[in-house]
Chain A
Amino acid sequence: MLLANEEGAEHAVHAAGWFLEHAWLIPVIPAAAFFLIILFGKRLPKGGSEIGLASMIAALVIAAGTAYQWIDLVGSTEHAEAVITKWVWWQAGDTKFTIGQHIDGLAVMALLLVAFISTLVQIYSTEYVRGDRRYTHFFASLTLFSSGMLTMVLAPNMVQLILGWEIMGLCSFLLIGHWWEELPNAKAALKAFFTVRTGDMGLLVGTAMLFGLFGTFDILDINEMAAAGEWHGSKTLLMAAAVALFIGCIGKSGQFPLHTWLPDAMAGPTPVSSLLHSSTMVVAGVFLVARIYPVFHVGLDINVAGSHYNLIAIIGGITVIVAAALAFVQDDIKKVLAYSTVSQLGYMMMGLGVGAWTAAVFHIFTHAFFKCCLFLAAGSISHTASHHSFDMKKDMGGLWRKLPVTFAAWFVSTLALCGVPFVSGFFSKDEIIDSAHAYDYTTFYVVGIVGAFMTTAYMTRATYLTFFGKARGGAAHFVAGEHEDEGAHDEGHAEAFADEHADVDHQIHAHAHAAHDAHDAHGHDDAHAPAHHGRPLPFAKTDSAWAITLPLLILGFLAIVSGYLNAAPFHIEKFHEWLHSSIGIELPEAPKFEWGNAAPGLALVLAGFLVSLYISKAVYGEGASPLKGLTKRVKVFGAIHTFLVNKLYLDHLYEKVIVRFVAYPLSKAAYWTNQHILDGAVNGVGIAGKKSGQFIYKYVDQGLVDGIVNGSGTAARAAGGELQPVQSGKVSLYGSLLFGAAAVAAIVLVLVNS
């Protein structure tokens, strides 16, 4: 059908330029590559990674061309309109469901970003997962993921957006659970999937409500009508739709209180964390809010005089603080970064909540580079220096001299993340905080600068633990192995690792280790020592292979310079110009930058650095200090520490309380029903219950069920087990159920229609 309609779309080409008209190719290429990898990947010399990489590069080239032509278009016309191409996908009655592209500044920015980050991550992955047992599948999933994200980004309507959104959800499940043989990974994958799905209910309900309110799925029309106030229904309905949609964004973007899946999702390979859980997938929620911003802006009364709070800003603000606090007690370097991501996503949401649209979108842009860089640096450390461990306290420390490139990339990215002046994060984050102040959202201004303080504090701690102080555990072996040649060094690696392995397993973070143990083990099986690592860059011989360090260098560079696209202190507003036309509403002018306004935030950043450095040195350093063991001696600090380590007990709430008191009674009720009401109708339900029960049971058996799911699994299993006699295997009973159900359905139809 698509092909048939293509000609129709062809003659719509006007002066916009080839790339702008054909931006829809960007997701199509990786999607095609996905199938090629699945079909032929295993037979290719590089296991299919070359197809994935080639497709991403092709997508990147088209995205770059699109961006170039878009900038050209914006420069040449006063008000650049979105380039929209649509084909009818399917039709129900008079409602046409289209598929196509909606290219405007926001879409172009996201396309370029996603294609670029995906390309770098794929390069990185060729080294990082080399020799993996499911190498081909890894690249297939990664490519399909990129395709899903790109599909979502250029969606001209909500239906296509949901399509891309769900492809991403599926791929994140596959990728987080990539090493599914280890139980925690499988659990983390399911947890991520189901938590996000919980939020997705909101997205579906919200989309349906939008259709009811506006009579269309087209994003452009929705935006225009929402901005103009032309919807069928009351304001309350629009608010309800906005809230429902936002619940979807909460799930996807890991906002409080559905953020618990994101740190667990670090069980996936590091490139996955870097791509999905820092710079693309979790940004989808923020992107959705930015995409149909007028709905939220009008529905939630953003920027209305006298309103100092709204749902988006509140959720964002809570997330900023809570996640930053949680980041402070993590020992796993990736979890620090995960909470940091959650916190930064909170900033973006908060920015959107206070009406700083451009600043929030700009923060998406800059954050992608430096957070991706941080994750890849963490991966580089664990890959090369710490025996595939991510535990900062056990296996890192004193690495900066041995990993110069990684350290440099990490360092500039940390600066960017903390919002140190003249690095990218400063320009975007400071503008969000500044806007909150200027638009009269004082609470969120305070939240913003406190968040900046906390960000600096936890990043200082992480940096200190990782790169400075005494080398510990795996890092100690690595630093000591200086004089050995490559091959021997690697052998030492494997042996030392085997020794270590046993006692590490008992630790709190045992699951992360277990996950990476296995990875490590097969890595060494397949290609012993020298072949295992690629060639490092010539000027950093002890650092990771070039495929790892090169992306780090590129991203580190961008972490510094990307901020200058919209640098308020230097009156550069390029980014704002290019993106300006993407929303159909007038937002308040961006506040004028003054160093005086930024000063409190910067002072707090400095304070955060100093305080954290002092504490880190005292607690983790070698000298004796009164601060050591403070959490054990002072009960209050101990309690706070425990509270944070247990992630605010939210997981306990979800798993213990909700599952036990909601799902468990359900299963009991099902049991009772079965015991007492043995008639055909109930039995019909029982068969359905049993079917799902069996399905889930299979996965319980294989250990693939997350705590939350456990509840529903138990419920279904209990119901299924108890209703098993219904599956008598007797045709006559099945027939009774069939005809009985048909009769009941017919009665319902008659009643509905009469």
Chain B
Amino acid sequence: MLLASDVVVAQNVGFGIIAAVMVIFALRVVSSSNVVHAALSLVMVMAGAAALYVLLAAEFVAVTQVLVYIGAVMVLFLFGVMLTRAKLGKEGDLNNKNWGVGIPVAILLLGVMVYALGDGWGRTKIDATGGSVVSTTAISDLIFSPYILPFWGLSFVLLAAVIGAIVLARKD
């Protein structure tokens, strides 16, 4: 028999694994000295994020994440890497000279956020077992009635981006 407490334990374990994977690969993204390795690490982070979305009962977003990010965006990145003829092997100087500045800034930010989050949300629980999976129908209802205007705006942004990318990248 599957108890609610078992589900929660399973979810927590799953979360721990996914989170560990994401953080490790995210660190690799920003520390790897090989551009292609960095890109592949990013794929792992995205995949982890998609898994988290499933855990958060947002299936449609998870699927979109896989399709758009892992499918399209990553291919774009790899193309970018290739077209700019970055060396496919190891590269010594992917970091700029002031890279040291980034560490204190990031740690400072992290400290503030962790403190603020801990202070603000404390031990507030998500009801992991209750509630149903967010249905795609509900999302489409939302997008196409109250959020129709932002949706149109977004369509224009995408159109502009397509045109802009073509204009920028044309050779003549």
Contacts and interface: CB of A to CB of B under 8 A. Distances in A.
Contacts of A743: 105, 108-109, 112
A750 B111 CA distance: 11
Interface in B70-121: 96, 98-99, 101-102, 104-106, 108-109, 112-113, 115-116, 119
B96 A736 contact: no
Given A730-B96, A732-B96, A750 B112 contact: yes
Interface in A511-557: none
Contacts of A740: 104-105, 108
Nearest to A733: B98
B118 to A, nearest CB: 11
B112 A736 contact: no
B101 A736 contact: yes
* SS class, residues of chain B in contact with chain A: helix
Contacts of B108: 740, 743-744, 747
Q: Which of B101, B113, B115 has the most CB of A within 10 A?
A: B101
A743 B111 CA distance: 9
B115 A730 contact: no
Q: Please tell me the size bucket of the interface on A.
A: 10 to 19
Q: Which of B98, B113, B115 has the most CB of A within 10 A?
A: B98
Interface in A671-694: 680
A736 B105 contact: yes
Contacts of B113: 746
Interface in A702-754: 730, 732-733, 736, 739-740, 742-744, 746-747, 750, 754
Contacts of B106: 739
A680 B99 CA distance: 13
Interface in B21-47: none
Contacts of B105: 680, 736, 739-740, 743
Given A732-B96, A754-B119, A747 B112 contact: yes
Contact of B112 (A730, A733, A746): A746
A536 to B, nearest CB: 67
A380 B138 CA distance: 81
Q: Which of A680, A739, A743 has the most CB of B within 10 A?
A: A743
Nearest to B99: A732
A214 B148 CA distance: 48
Q: Which of B96, B105, B109 has the most CB of A within 10 A?
A: B105
Contacts, number: 38
A733 B116 contact: no
A312 to B, nearest CB: 50
Given A730-B96, A754-B119, A680 B101 contact: yes
Given A740-B108, A742-B109, A743-B108, A750 B98 contact: no
Contact of A739 (B96, B99, B109): B109
Interface residues of B, number: 15
A732 B98 CA distance: 8
Nearest to B116: A750
A736 B109 contact: no
Given A739-B109, A743-B105, A743-B108, A730 B116 contact: no
Contacts of B102: 732, 736
Nearest to B95: A732
A747 B101 CA distance: 18
B120 to A, nearest CB: 10
B160 to A, nearest CB: 23
A744 B112 CA distance: 9
A732 B115 CA distance: 26
A739 B108 CA distance: 9
A680 B103 CA distance: 12
A730 B109 contact: no
A750 B118 CA distance: 12
A736 B116 contact: no
Contacts of A733: 98, 101
B101 A750 contact: no
Nearest to B96: A732
A27 to B, nearest CB: 40
A43 B18 CA distance: 72
Contacts of B104: 740
Nearest to A680: B101
Nearest to B119: A754
Nearest to B100: A736
A740 B102 CA distance: 9
Contacts of B119: 750, 754
Contacts of B96: 730, 732
B115 to A, nearest CB: 6
A746 B117 CA distance: 12
A390 B101 CA distance: 63
A92 to B, nearest CB: 26
A473 to B, nearest CB: 68
Contacts of A742: 109
Interface string A297-338: 000000000000000000000000000000000000000000
A754 B109 CA distance: 18
A719 B163 CA distance: 44
18 contacts: A680-B101, A680-B105, A730-B96, A730-B98, A732-B98, A732-B99, A733-B98, A733-B101, A736-B101, A739-B106, A740-B104, A740-B105, A743-B105, A744-B108, A746-B109, A747-B112, A750-B112, A754-B119
Interface of A: 680, 730, 732-733, 736, 739-740, 742-744, 746-747, 750, 754
Kindly list the 9 A-B residue pairs having the minimum CB-CB distance in the complex, ordered from nearest. Answer: A743-B108, A736-B101, A743-B109, A746-B112, A740-B105, A739-B105, A732-B96, A736-B105, A747-B112
Given A740-B104, A743-B108, A746-B112, 17 more contacts: A680-B101, A680-B105, A732-B96, A732-B102, A733-B101, A736-B101, A736-B102, A736-B105, A739-B105, A740-B105, A742-B109, A743-B105, A744-B108, A746-B109, A747-B112, A750-B115, A750-B119
